[in-house]
Structure formats: structure tokens, C-alpha cells
Structure 1
Amino acid sequence: MLLLTSTSKSTQKILSLSFVFTLALQSVPASAQVDVKTMISTIESPLKNGESELDKLSLEQLMEKLRVPGMSIAVIKDFKLHWAKTYGVIDAQSGKALNLQTRFQAASISKPITAMAAMRMVQDGRLNLDTDVNTYFKSLRIPANPAFPNQAITPRSLFSHTSGAADGFGFPGYEPDATLPTTEEILEGKLPSNVGKILFTEAPFQVSKYSGGGVMFMQLAMRDISGRPFADLMRTSVLQPLAMHDSSFVQAKNLEGNPNAALAHDEAGQRFAAPWHVYPELATSGLWTTPSDLAKVIIAMQNALLGKDENLLTQQSAREMITPVSVGRFGIGWSISQRNNGWYFSHSGANWGYRAWAIGHIRKGYGLVVMTNSDSGMSLINQVVDRVESAYNWDSRPTASSR
């Protein structure tokens, strides 16, 4: 198996995968377990009718070729978690196997989770998506741009990446022992921040430019509105209500007390010197979680969109989140796309040493979350997405009429 050469380690890993698979099946009725096993076997096998070199490899072979030490998957079907399984190791040096509770950095998938918390503030009347965001700040203001002095920068524009912010961030994170900047220092580009000041160079809603910096203004606004630390706000407004017990926005600085966290690896599948980077940019990059927990987010969105469960988000709030602002592909936090005959909401994640992907169908109750602990993880994720779409016959697959 990948990165394990001794017989004892290989045996340990195989037994671990078997145990994880057993856990995944515990909540599945006996009549459906054969279907789950068939689906997993199909996805782990080479892609049927695949044409590329990667298509012709099994998942195990793909992980070895692409140098991804560990991967965790959760598949959603009929508005429920269908199965979850882990592959590979937490740490290429120790060979310790992953399990379903192993946390990964979700990276930019933090953004739509933050947006869900913001929508709860909207529901409570504490936040308006179309009000000048400056009205919520206690410590700074975004200066008016003389080129468009009467056009306010709003939460809707910040979450949809249409605010005119010029940063294009991406945050590199910090070494675990580094002095971390405050939210205000990040926004102002002041030391010890390792990024520049976030500037707005275009009028709102004129262009679409991905901006982690823009979403950081929402971290400040939500903190100032609530009067609470951002990680605590996220815990009580989203993580606890969805029973995301293996998730947190708290930034761990070392391995002590965090034995079940996947460690960061480079493109060659080698461990970095630090176990991971830490991200004070919590709203954009700070979530630690598992695919099974993120699957709860996808399912909550899907149920709210159909009005089946409005405990977290009302149907109106969920629809706001998947409504593009007519510039670019983003609604409130989520990227919205038509994939052949289906419409989906999704988001990718890329932190130092981690890659992740989460996607859900807007109406049909299926979706997927994949998380890896390697800078080369996205190529593997793309393969998993293709295989899940094919095995479950998603409407994102090309049809005869669409070819």
C-alpha cells in the first residue's frame, strides 16, 4: 500500500481500512449494504471506459502515482450519507492510518460555512446583505473610492467575490510558532501579516475576482456584530447545530492534543517540517473538519433548498446562497454551476499541504466531499469526482445529446 513498505505496516493499514469500512456500514440497512459495497468497489477500480493514463489506475495506484499519502471520502445519496471511507495515512513518516474522525484543513471550503453563519445573522435581523458593510465595523472603515463614491461595498458583494477587491488572495498561512496578526492587521496589511493591504479597485458588481481578502472583511463584521470570538461564533451557529463533532475553527499550533489530525505533505508526498500552517484568516481558510461532517453541510443545504428542513437555514436563505449576483459564478459563499443537465453548488479548498472539494446537487440529493493531505491532492480529487459521477450516474455526466 502507499508509502508503507513493511509487512506489518501494510497489514495494519489493511485492517484499518476494513475497520473504517465497517464503521461506514453500521448505519446502512442490510438490504442496501450490497449496493454500498458495489459502489465502493466500482469507484476504487479503474474508470470504466476511461481514456487517460490515470483513468486506467485503481484508487490505490492513483494515490501512489500522484504521491498523496492520505484521502478521506464521503458520498451523499438521497439526502443522506451513503458511505464514508478513508485511504492511506495521517503521516507518511509514521505510517499511522487515517480514520473517519481524522480532521483535515478544509481551506477555502471555510468560506461557504462562514456564509451559512452570516445567513443565520440575516435570519435574526442582525445583518443585511445589501447594507454598506462599514456600518457593522467598530474598529476600521473601508475608505470610499473617489471613482465610485456612492457605491457601497456590501456583504453580498464580499461573499460573491464581486466587491471590487483587488487582492486575489489566497493566504499562505503561518508557521505554528509564528506571531499571528489580528484581523485588522491582516486587512490593513500591517505586520506581522504576511499579505498586503486589501484594496478595492473596481466598482462593486462590475467584475468577478476571487477575493479571500474580501471575505476577511466579513470575518470582522460578524465578530463585531456578535461581540464574540469568530471561532466561537462558528461553533454555536453552524457546527453545533449540524452535530459537526469533528470540526473546529480553532487553530492548533502543534501535535499535542491533536493526535487525529492529518499532517501536511508536499507535492512529492513528503511531510513538511511543520505539521501544518495555522490560519488566523478563519473565515476564509480556518476550518478543520472531516468529509462526513462536511456532508452534513451539503445535506442541510439541500434540505433547506427544498423546504424539507429549515432548522439551520430557511428556504429563502438557502436560495439566496445559490443565487449568483449576475456577475461571475458565486452566490453567497458557494460557487454555482451547470454541469451538463444538472445544477450544483460547490467549493474547492487549497491550503499549504491540503486539497479538498465539496459539491452537492441543488435538487436531487446527491453530493460528494473529498479531502487530502497533499499539495498534489487535486489531481486525485478530480479522478474521484469522475468515478463517483459515473458510478452513481449523476446528471453531470455527458449524455448522447450533449456530446
Structure 2
Amino acid sequence: MYCVSTRFIHLLGIVYFIIGCQIATAYGQKPVPKEVQTHIDAVETNLAVFFPKTDSITGYASLAERMAYYNVNALSIAVINNGKLEWAKAYGFANAEDRIEATPTTMFQAASISKSVNALCVMKLVDEKKLSLTEDVRKYLSGWRLPISDTARGYEVNLANLLSHTAGLSVHGFEGYEVGKPMPTSTVAILNGKPPTNSPAVQFVTKPNVGFKYSGGGILVVQEILEEQFNLPYTTILDKKVLIPLQMKHSTFTQPLPVECRDKAAVGYRVTGKPLTGKWHIYPEQAAAGLWTTPSDLANFIIAIQKSYNKKKGFIKQQTAHTMVTPYLAGTKVGLGVFESAWGDTPFFNHGGANEGFRSFYCGSLTTGKGIVIMINSDNDRIFKEIVYTVAKDYNWKNEKTIQPNK
């Protein structure tokens, strides 16, 4: 676990919110430069409003108005510009019942964005020659075996298949477990669908390498591989290889959420505004959905890939970064743990997330050093389109259409 969490820091963040000093992380307590404040104002006071299910802008409104319209209790955002975190702010209530304000260090469930961070860990281990993207994963598995299937008989499955959802495996996603309810105690139990697991066993539904089939089950296989290969808890591996090196100080894959982190975690809410029973669900499917984090920490993750891609103090090798963000299978837009997208002629990588009571989205440019991360404690993510469009236009991302979050 790598999670800096004290009640003092949390309360200090609330004070900053109240006195209007919730300053961009990049500037600490210094005044925000006028140019940056102009960008912040665009989001806070002049958000593009879209007609439902269309790309038609019907007007402009404040962020507060749109949060109220969509019944979003808390929203946290980080904006990357010129390869650096330019500003980060949070709005609303992390806990509406107790009137606890959200701050930039409030932790949200990243949901499927966990898959991107998991993939970066794998790429780091590939650089260290401890794993191979191309060899059959059966060589790494002994405590659990890929299911025998006539559909996939005779075919190999590699880590690149699993990370790009081209392995042909089942189980799209996971609903998590209510706090206090029975839950599986091992990754193998979940893979086998053994009670009290609430998802079916992971099976082949198509042949490997024939197309894209989103599979959280396949990412869970990666979790099992890491645990078996290194004989360590998954969260320990991710701390050592990604979270600590990238200074993601307010992040953890530990499930259930550690006690020392709970006072700074957002409560999850339904579209109706009703809080989840127990405040949030528990996700033992850590690699697929288990990350708790902040937009600022995810900005560090995005910047690490951007720098590696452009060979600037790379966290991973440049060629490894190119492999990660390039579609693995022709005809898809899916790299290893990320989706490919573009704004005009500018290539981006992105991923979205949807856990019970939480939604998230990030995208990062591969060539211009721009990007954004948005996290909310709501099941309704329609506000994302309005924020991403506004930021893209304000920062001149040069694209007429918005990126649709992939989940």
C-alpha cells in the first residue's frame, strides 16, 4: 500500500477549500498564474452544455450548475499542459451526509482505469526481462490454469492478448462486494467463480487474436500471474513497481480500503444521490477495478507514459511505451491497458472507469504534453463530455469532436 492519509491533512484540505485556496498542486500555496486561472475559469464558469446524446452545444453554464443538474456530489479534476500538471481542483462533497468537502487529495475509485496502471506495471517488468509479452502465459501459471475449451484449443494466449482484450476470455466487469458481505478470499476463487464470488468463472468465448472482446476476467488472469510469479500480494507489487516510483502518494490497490485511508475517501452515490450501503463496494479484482487514487496521482501516471513515449527521462523504455499505446490487433483501437484516440491529427491514449457509485476518465496526448483526469463519486458521468470538450477547446487541442470515455 502507498497511501498518505491523516486526519490533519484531510482537515487542512477542507480549510483550503473553504477559504478559496484550493490551488493547483503544481503551485502549492503560491498564487495561481493569471493564464492558468483563465483556464480554470473556463471550466468553472463557462462549461459547454450538450444536448443529450448529441454533439450539439445548447449553451454554457457553470460547473456548479452542471454538477447540480447531473446530481454529482463531488468532482475532482487535474489538467496536464506542456508535459506537467498545471492545475488540480476538487468541488462539492466527498461525503454529502457529513458535509465533508472534496479536496484534490480526496481518493476516488478509479474502476477500470486500474487496468492502465496494471498494464504499466507489466511493461516495467517486461523492461526488466521478468515477464514476456509474447510467450504463452501458461508458463507463468501453476495455481490456476487457463480453462480447457474447444473454442481455443491449440491456441496460445500471451500477456499482450490479456492486456488488449484480445484473448477471447469472458467476464466483462465486476460489481464488487458490499461492505460486510461475504467475498472471495483469493484471485483463483474469483477466476473459478467459486461462491461467494458474484461473477461467473472466466472462460473462453472466442479464439484468441480474432478481435476485441472487453474482458475484466482477462485482466484478473494478469493479477494471478503477477501474484504467482513474484509470490507477493498484488498490491505490494504495484506499490513497488508503479505507485512509489511515480510518487502516487494518495493511491492504493489494497482492498478493502485501509483504515488509515478511509477518512479521505469519497463516498459512492447512485444517480439518485443515494449513498451506497457501506459507502463503497470492495473490489478484490484489484488489477481490473481495485485502484483508489486521485486525479493528481493519475496525472503522474499519464506524464510518465508521455515522457517515456518521447524519450524524456522515461519510466519505461521508449519502444516499450510505443508498444503499450499502439493497438495490438489490427482493426482495433486497443493498446495494452489503454485505448487509442485522436483530436484532429494529435494522437491520444485514454481509458474510463465505472465502479458502483464512481466514474472516472483520463486522456493524454502522445505528442503535445496535454491531458486531463476527471473523477466523480456518482454513477452519472455525462458531465465528462462537457468538461473534456471545454478543456480541449480552451487549451487548443484542435478537434471538433469529443473523446467518448471507454469503460
Tell me the TM-score normalized by structure 1.
Answer: 0.90
Matches within 5 A, 1:4-403: 16=17, 18-22=19-23, 24=25, 26-27=27-28, 33-47=33-47, 55-167=59-171, 169-181=172-184, 182-252=186-256, 258-310=262-314, 312-325=315-328, 326-376=330-380, 378-397=381-400
- Measured after TM superposition, the shift of residue 19 of structure 1 is 4.3
- Measured after TM superposition, the shift of residue 14 of structure 1 is 9.5
**Contact 1:177-1:253 within 8 A present in 2 as well:** no
- Measured after TM superposition, the shift of residue 174 of structure 1 is 0.3
**Contact 2:162-2:218 within 8 A present in 1 as well:** yes
**What is the alpha-carbon distance in structure 1 between the residues aligned to residue 259 and residue 394 of structure 2?**
38
Moved more, 96-105 or 12-21: 12-21
**Contact 1:252-1:258 within 8 A present in 2 as well:** no
**What is the alpha-carbon distance in structure 1 between the residues aligned to residue 177 and residue 194 of structure 2?**
15
Residue-pair matches, total: 384
**Contact 1:108-1:284 within 8 A present in 2 as well:** yes
**Contact 1:13-1:88 within 8 A present in 2 as well:** no
SS of the residue corresponding to residue 298 of structure 2 reads: helix
**What is the alpha-carbon distance in structure 2 between the residues aligned to residue 88 and residue 18 of structure 1?**
14
**Contact 1:25-1:33 within 8 A present in 2 as well:** no
**Contact 1:20-1:85 within 8 A present in 2 as well:** no
**What is the alpha-carbon distance in structure 2 between the residues aligned to residue 122 and residue 278 of structure 1?**
30
- Measured after TM superposition, the shift of residue 144 of structure 1 is 4.0
| CA deviation vs aligned residue, 1:256-291 (integer Å, no higher than 9, x gap) | 751111000110222222210000000000000000
Q: Which amino acid aligns with 2:375?
A: M
Structure 1 14/259 Cα, relative in aligned 2: closer, same or farther at 3 Å? closer
- Measured after TM superposition, the shift of residue 53 of structure 1 is 7.2
Q: Which amino acid aligns with 2:27?
A: Q
| CA deviation vs aligned residue, 1:174-196 (integer Å, no higher than 9, x gap) | 01212321101111111111000
**What is the alpha-carbon distance in structure 1 between the residues aligned to residue 170 and residue 58 of structure 2?**
37
Structure 1 46/306 Cα, relative in aligned 2: closer, same or farther at 3 Å? same
Structure 1 389/183 Cα, relative in aligned 2: closer, same or farther at 3 Å? same
- Measured after TM superposition, the shift of residue 390 of structure 1 is 1.1
Structure 1 240/50 Cα, relative in aligned 2: closer, same or farther at 3 Å? same
- Measured after TM superposition, the shift of residue 15 of structure 1 is 6.2
**What is the alpha-carbon distance in structure 1 between the residues aligned to residue 238 and residue 286 of structure 2?**
10
Q: Which amino acid aligns with 1:166?
A: S
Q: Which amino acid aligns with 2:227?
A: R
| CA deviation vs aligned residue, 1:308-333 (integer Å, no higher than 9, x gap) | 012x2111111110110214211110
- Measured after TM superposition, the shift of residue 396 of structure 1 is 2.9
Structure 1 186/398 Cα, relative in aligned 2: closer, same or farther at 3 Å? closer
Structure 1 65/255 Cα, relative in aligned 2: closer, same or farther at 3 Å? farther
- Measured after TM superposition, the shift of residue 28 of structure 1 is 9.2
Structure 1 35/124 Cα, relative in aligned 2: closer, same or farther at 3 Å? same
Tell me which protein shows more strand as a share of its residues. Answer: 2
**What is the alpha-carbon distance in structure 1 between the residues aligned to residue 401 and residue 260 of structure 2?**
48
Tell me the TM-score normalized by structure 2.
Answer: 0.89
**What is the alpha-carbon distance in structure 1 between the residues aligned to residue 209 and residue 289 of structure 2?**
24
Moved more, 319-328 or 59-68: 319-328
SS of the residue corresponding to residue 43 of structure 1 reads: helix
Moved more, 145-154 or 101-110: 145-154
Structure 1 43/184 Cα, relative in aligned 2: closer, same or farther at 3 Å? same
SS of the residue corresponding to residue 259 of structure 1 reads: helix
**What is the alpha-carbon distance in structure 1 between the residues aligned to residue 139 and residue 49 of structure 2?**
56
Q: Which amino acid aligns with 1:308?
A: K
SS of the residue corresponding to residue 90 of structure 1 reads: strand
Structure 1 49/148 Cα, relative in aligned 2: closer, same or farther at 3 Å? closer
**What is the alpha-carbon distance in structure 1 between the residues aligned to residue 37 and residue 274 of structure 2?**
32
Q: Which amino acid aligns with 2:286?
A: L
**What is the alpha-carbon distance in structure 2 between the residues aligned to residue 269 and residue 171 of structure 1?**
22
Sequence identity, in percent?
A: 35
**Contact 2:109-2:355 within 8 A present in 1 as well:** yes
Moved more, 56-65 or 347-356: 56-65
Q: Which amino acid aligns with 1:367?
A: G
- Measured after TM superposition, the shift of residue 200 of structure 1 is 0.6
- Measured after TM superposition, the shift of residue 22 of structure 1 is 3.1
**What is the alpha-carbon distance in structure 1 between the residues aligned to residue 263 and residue 250 of structure 2?**
13
**What is the alpha-carbon distance in structure 2 between the residues aligned to residue 152 and residue 133 of structure 1?**
8
Structure 2 alignment gaps of length 5 or more: 1-12, 403-407
Q: Which amino acid aligns with 1:363?
A: T
SS of the residue corresponding to residue 200 of structure 2 reads: coil
